[in-house]
Structure 1
Amino acid sequence: MRFLFLGDIVGKAGRRAVQDYLPDLRDELKLDFVVANGENAAHGFGLTESTANDLFDAGVDSITSGNHAWDKIEVIGLMERDDRIIRPANFAEGSPGKGGAVYQTPSGHSILVINIMGRLFMEPLDNPWEALDRLLPPGLPGDYGLDAVLVDFHAEATSEKYTCGHYCDGRASLVVGTHTHVPTGDAQILENGTGYQTDAGMCGDYDSIIGMGKEECLARNTGTIPKPRLSPAEGDGTLCGVFVETDPKTGLASRCESVRVGPRLHRAVPIVD
């Protein structure tokens, strides 16, 4: 099975990048499934029904989120009625929506998508490791009828993201970090077969400060204006993500490679047969 994970989609520039580049990537990489983190898709903060539909129409199959999951109140009802949108599984018990879901692809594959949020320098949520153990298969994905298992670990600290990678090693096809909006250069397959990248980066305008307009961020960070309102940069967007191909028997990663398409960053698109 071949799938693509797209990093945090930031505002209109990020949505345009997905709309511009994903349809061709689906064909070029012969993708069975696409997952994207959409918690910043609606003007940089949260997700709405219209922005979710933009992503689905462009070829995204499932949307994960993170600490901005509830920024747009309408998403609560949307999560309740649309299983394609999930939120971190370690939100408090009784939170709207689901923290993971199994999807069947048109090609007949089965993929489990899990969303978890870290706690270092983040909100004090429930234990992420207990949430993972509730949702992950206890062994090889293939032994439990799954062609792939993807974990979006939405976290600030690189050490906590690596911890998640090794914690899931051998039980997930991919553990990928989101939240920091900067693509890391450490795409790899861990010792027991789990693909890993510390952060997938963002889909958005890289002539920015992690997707937000430079001037407002500079004013905030240098202290010249107290807490100016931030808005997403709206120049040409770049798509960033991670491509994974799984072993048909185990469901673990046989390939794990970065994907980057668009201006400013070096292009990276895997070659597939």
Structure 2
Amino acid sequence: MLKLLFIGDIVGRPGRDILADRLPRIRTERSIDFVIANGENAAAGAGITGSIAKSILESGVDAITLGDHVWDQRGWENEIGQMERVCRPANLPKSCPGWDHLIIEARGFRVAVFTVLGRTFMNVKAECPFLAADRMIEQLRAQADAIIVEIHAEATSEKQALGWHLDGRVTAVLGTHTHVPTADAAVLPKGTAFICDVGMTGPYASVLGREVAPVVERFIDGMPRRFDVATGDVRLSGALIEISASKASAQKIELLTVRMGQNG
């Protein structure tokens, strides 16, 4: 049996700090073989930089995925091609720089991971996530023992539909983007672990990681405001999956949430 932890959207410095503080101990205490983390909000809440990506990897993360904020930081499009353990969404146009998947290995077991962006309520130029996932699975089946699919999407219906579409063909379909952990973690009938959203790694005394007051005021009057990253009630959130090495299917999935200063 192998264990994989998929960590939800790392938001700003608070998310990076709790990752560096808690992840090494969590890996050791829970005997985790693989750690994948979404880093698309790691730089001040929007995008990522090369130096931040390196710090996340040094915290004990094996692979970093990204989402719709992939290009928010100036110059990242020139750095991403040099980051061998960072991948952009696979259903972006092929002309975009960066890897569209990653393969990581532990104990002789290879795990492939890729992200697809949802299209419902998402203002992105992306290929159909269902067709893109089909294409990527066909490409990766011979290269890896297990395949992890992240769906970075707004609509729970789109996430659930992709989970059912891929059940039995991949080890897990894990949702990100909405930053709120959901209570629907389950292993689907054909052996694929699923959850609508693994939650965010960052400040929960917030509105999706941002200071409360300016967001509330924006909803009331519609005026533009700066949304700074909040700092209160910082948590690390993710999905912990147990994988059968012989079948490459998921045996168990649970939501893992750790607060700053709390034991794993």
TM-score by length of 1: 0.91
Q: Alpha-carbon deviation of 1:186?
A: 0.7
Q: Alpha-carbon deviation of 1:78?
A: 2.5
Q: Using the alignment, how far apart are the partners of 1:134 and 1:70 within structure 2?
A: 24
Q: Using the alignment, how far apart are the partners of 1:250 and 1:212 within structure 2?
A: 41
Q: Matched residue of 2:204: which SS?
A: coil
| Residue 261 of structure 1: aligned partner | 258
RMSD of equivalent CA atoms: 2.0
| Residue 204 of structure 2: aligned partner | 206
Q: Alpha-carbon deviation of 1:147?
A: 3.4
Q: Matched residue of 1:220: which SS?
A: helix
| Residue 187 of structure 1: aligned partner | 185
Whether the aligned pair in 2 keeps the contact of 1:201 and 1:240 (CA below 8 Å) is: yes
Whether the aligned pair in 1 keeps the contact of 2:91 and 2:127 (CA below 8 Å) is: yes
- Per-residue CA shift, 1:30-72, capped at 9, x if unaligned? 1111000000000000001121122111101111111100001
| Residue 105 of structure 2: aligned partner | 104
Q: Alpha-carbon deviation of 1:259?
A: 0.3
Q: Relative to structure 1, is the Cα distance of residues 75 and 90 closer, same or farther in structure 2, using a 3 angstrom cutoff?
A: same
Whether the aligned pair in 1 keeps the contact of 2:92 and 2:125 (CA below 8 Å) is: no
Whether the aligned pair in 1 keeps the contact of 2:109 and 2:245 (CA below 8 Å) is: no
| Residue 65 of structure 2: aligned partner | 64
Q: Relative to structure 1, is the Cα distance of residues 268 and 145 closer, same or farther in structure 2, using a 3 angstrom cutoff?
A: farther
Question: What are the ranges of 5 or more consecutive residues in structure 2 without an aligned counterpart?
Answer: none
Tell me, yes or no, if structure 1 residue 121 matches structure 2 residue 121: yes
Letter aligned with residue 119 of structure 1 = R
Q: Relative to structure 1, is the Cα distance of residues 176 and 77 closer, same or farther in structure 2, using a 3 angstrom cutoff?
A: same
Q: Using the alignment, how far apart are the partners of 1:32 and 1:78 within structure 2?
A: 28
| Residue 151 of structure 1: aligned partner | 149
Tell me whether 167-176 or 128-137 shows the greater mean CA deviation: 128-137
Whether the aligned pair in 1 keeps the contact of 2:203 and 2:230 (CA below 8 Å) is: yes
| Residue 43 of structure 1: aligned partner | 44
Picking from 229, 236, 246, the partner of 1:232 is: 229
- Per-residue CA shift, 1:138-196, capped at 9, x if unaligned? 99x6xx46332111100000000001111111111111110000000111000110000
| Residue 215 of structure 1: aligned partner | 213
- Per-residue CA shift, 1:228-269, capped at 9, x if unaligned? 011111234200000011111221101111100006xxx896
Picking from 233, 247, 251, the partner of 2:248 is: 251
Q: Matched residue of 1:210: which SS?
A: coil
Q: Relative to structure 1, is the Cα distance of residues 204 and 104 closer, same or farther in structure 2, using a 3 angstrom cutoff?
A: same
| Residue 197 of structure 1: aligned partner | 195
Identity of aligned residues (%): 39
Q: Matched residue of 1:239: which SS?
A: strand
| Residue 14 of structure 1: aligned partner | 15
Q: How many residues align?
A: 262
Q: Matched residue of 1:15: which SS?
A: helix
Q: Matched residue of 1:23: which SS?
A: helix
Q: Using the alignment, how far apart are the partners of 2:156 and 2:113 within structure 1?
A: 21
Q: Using the alignment, how far apart are the partners of 2:153 and 2:50 within structure 1?
A: 25
- Per-residue CA shift, 1:86-116, capped at 9, x if unaligned? 11111112111122122223x2220000111
Tell me, yes or no, if structure 1 residue 74 matches structure 2 residue 71: no
